[in-house]
A and B are shown apart, each in its own frame.
Chain A
Amino acid sequence: MTMTEIRAPERTHEGLTYDRVTRIVAHTLGNPSKGYYALLGAAVTLLAVGVICLLYLLRYGLGLAGYSMPTYWAIYITCFVFWVGIAHSGTLISAILFLFRSGWRTAVYRTAEAMTVFAVMTAGLFPLIHIGRQWFFYWLVPYPNQRGLWPNFKSPLVWDEFAIGTYFTVSTLFLIMGLIPDVAAIRDVSTGWRKKLYTITGLGWRGTNDQWRHYRPAYLYLAALATPLVLSVHSVVSWDFAMAQVPAWHETLFAPYFVAGAIYSGCAMVITLLVPMRRLFRLDEVVTVHHFENLAKLCLLTGMIVCYAYSTENFVAWYGGPTPERAAFIYRAFGRFWWAGWTMNICNAFLPWLLWFKKVRTNITALFVISIFVNLGMWMERFVIIAVHLAGEPFEPYVRASYNATWADWGIMAGSFGWFFMWFLLFVKNFPAVSVSEVKEELPPPRRAAAAARHA
């Protein structure tokens, strides 16, 4: 029995044909509407705010960031972890679900993959902003220098650099690999300058048996390489904290806790992006409620793991006795930043319980609202773990200095959202935001027998 015969009958794309899929996706690349320009303008404005704040920061130094002893990791590192986390669901949907042969991924994976690449691009900026003397960023790279110095490979920060570098490269390759057949399909139905653009970027793809013969296994191997990579990257990010001896950081739970949280926030971001995109580009036929329900189920699964992780770390802090760990968790819940701690608990540990109900999972408006709160909650989680636990270090008597974020911090954070959305908007208008060839794989192929039955 072949793979196609044992596949479950397709129920998500009623009445779609190969030609219709190509037309729907090609339609998304037409002349932009006013709404699109408004969104792009908003994104570029936000980016401009961020750039101005960054220029001030470059001129006057990190004193403009709200750092005060002992809080030297704050908004920038929070944003770094947040954006790396957002990136994770993209590779999950495109690589892990590919290996599991989940057919529904085909309609949403391009959006998720593009989101991954742009989120890693955004995340990568923050360590560079954070290092202070930004023009020495290349000191991170192991290169032969006059003093014969090398990076410390026992440091999780160096692991992180390798992990993020690899993740950015591999997820970009994955996105480009998937795009090639689709760009070729768009090339063959477009005209004018777009045809020229897609002729170059389609790399001469024609869908011959020789091309598919090498392409398919290569895609499989990339997925197989990317799957452990997804799990490793956020584990390594979590070790930036877990390897340090700060109360509430030094936990063995951190790696799975961070990976689950990353996928949770990433799936929420996919929903946040897909809902308006589906409406703006009239993708209702391709991206259906069924896809949103499956994304919601992924959110539910990872949300439950996050909820479990929160319970565990609170339990361990309580069960461990009167230690700095317990003091840190009391500070999280009742200290100066209680609002951040509770926003995180409510959005990440309580909100996903709503997704047990099918009515909520199939209501796109409800999902959109939930997804925004999940994004907020996950940003707060990183803020709590990083800034709040540093501000509240309870075992040093001199740390009563309080931490306050500044306009430069918030401006650069807003700029990161502008940067991300600008790239995403430019991508969806210039390249197929839904996979053409893979959505076709989910449709019943045209057969003579079926055609004869229709005409009889």
Chain B
Amino acid sequence: MKIPHPLSPILDRPMTPGVLAVFQHLDGTVDAIRELKSTGHRDFTVYSPLARHEIEIALAQPTSPVRAYTLIGGIAGCSIGAWIALYMSYDWPIVVGGKTIGSIPPYVVIMFEMTVLFGALTTLLGVLFNILLSVRQRGRIAYDPRFTNDRFGIFVPASGTQVTRVESLLKECGAEEVRHA
């Protein structure tokens, strides 16, 4: 009996049918994004080798929720820093340097460092989690290795009669290559 790979539901998902366009120019890509949005497309994917504000503005996506992770991590870190320093001082109460047992000013250093540490770690977790979530939502879609080098790309999920319409739209906006994927 053949045992299926445990990760096959994630790794071997079927390709989403659609149209992949390769763009040489940034303004062509931005035009295509605007056209696609005006014709009611919402779930297309834009590839770019670098972050450009033009693309961000044209897409007008909601603000990333990563900032909430950073904030919660920072607050948690600060609290944990205060807690360990204070708890450990009172657990073995011994007067050092004539200061009170739970002396806040020196513990600010610990609280600050823990704020930064936890804030940074949760930010990383936030990015990983949100990106994995979006990959899961999009499914497996077509890609071209030139998209990390010098080409911009747009993938539009489409099937049936939609395909030709999307293809001609992308070509009009200056795509140098359009293929059904």
Contacts and interface: CB of A to CB of B under 8 A. Distances in A.
Interface of A: 2-4, 17-19, 22, 142, 148-155, 158-159, 162-163, 165-166, 169-170, 173-174, 177, 181, 184-185, 187-189, 204-218, 221-222, 225-226, 228-229, 232, 236, 436-438, 440-441, 445-449, 451
A437 B130 contact: no
A210 B66 contact: no
Contact of B109 (A163, A215, A438): A163
B103 interface: yes
Given A153-B106, A447-B26, 6 more contacts: A208-B134, A209-B48, A209-B55, A216-B51, A217-B67, A232-B109
A153 B45 contact: no
Contacts of A19: 149-150
30 contacts: A19-B149, A22-B149, A154-B99, A159-B106, A162-B109, A163-B109, A163-B113, A169-B117, A170-B117, A181-B50, A185-B149, A188-B146, A189-B149, A205-B148, A209-B46, A209-B48, A210-B45, A210-B135, A217-B64, A218-B64, A218-B124, A221-B70, A221-B119, A222-B124, A236-B109, A436-B49, A445-B52, A447-B25, A447-B27, A451-B25
A152 B103 CA distance: 11
Given A22-B149, A154-B99, A207-B147, A212 B92 contact: no
A225 B120 contact: yes
Given A153-B85, A154-B103, A188 B148 contact: yes
B70 A206 contact: no
B91 A440 contact: no
A217 B124 CA distance: 11
Listed from nearest, the 4 A-B pairs whose CB atoms lie closest are A18-B150, A188-B145, A150-B88, A210-B134
B164 to A, nearest CB: 24
A228 B109 CA distance: 12
A84 B30 CA distance: 45
A154 B96 CA distance: 8
B42 interface: no
Given A154-B99, A207-B147, A185 B116 contact: no
B54 A4 contact: yes
A227 to B, nearest CB: 10
A150 B53 contact: no
Nearest to A171: B120
Contacts of B16: none
A289 B143 CA distance: 38
B107 to A, nearest CB: 6
Nearest to A176: B124
Contacts of B119: 221, 225
B121 A149 contact: no
Nearest to B24: A446
Contacts of B28: 448
Contacts of A18: 49-50, 149-150
Contacts of A236: 109
Contact of B116 (A155, A217, A228, A437): A228
B116 A150 contact: no
Contacts of A165: 113, 117
A222 B123 contact: yes
Interface of B: 24-28, 45-57, 59, 61, 63-64, 66-67, 70, 74, 84-85, 88-89, 91-92, 96-97, 99, 103, 106-107, 109-110, 112-114, 116-117, 119-121, 123-124, 126-127, 130-131, 134-135, 138, 143, 145-150, 174
B92 A214 contact: no
A172 B124 CA distance: 12
Contacts of B147: 188, 206-207
B49 A162 contact: no
Contacts of A210: 45, 131, 134-135, 138
A449 B26 CA distance: 10
Contacts of A169: 117, 120-121
B112 A153 contact: no
Contacts of A213: 56, 61, 64
A22 B150 CA distance: 8
Contact of A150 (B92, B134, B146, B148): B92
A221 B114 contact: no
A153 B174 CA distance: 63
Contact of A206 (B47, B103, B126, B150): B47
B26 A166 contact: no
B93 to A, nearest CB: 11
B88 A142 contact: yes
A113 B49 CA distance: 22
B52 A4 contact: yes
A19 B148 CA distance: 10
A218 B97 CA distance: 41
A153 B88 contact: yes
Contacts of B97: 154
A448 B66 CA distance: 35
Contacts of B96: 152, 154-155
A204 B143 CA distance: 11
Nearest to A154: B106
A189 B92 contact: no
B110 A162 contact: yes
A148 B109 contact: no
A185 B124 CA distance: 21
B59 A222 contact: no
Contacts of B50: 18, 181, 207, 437-438, 440-441
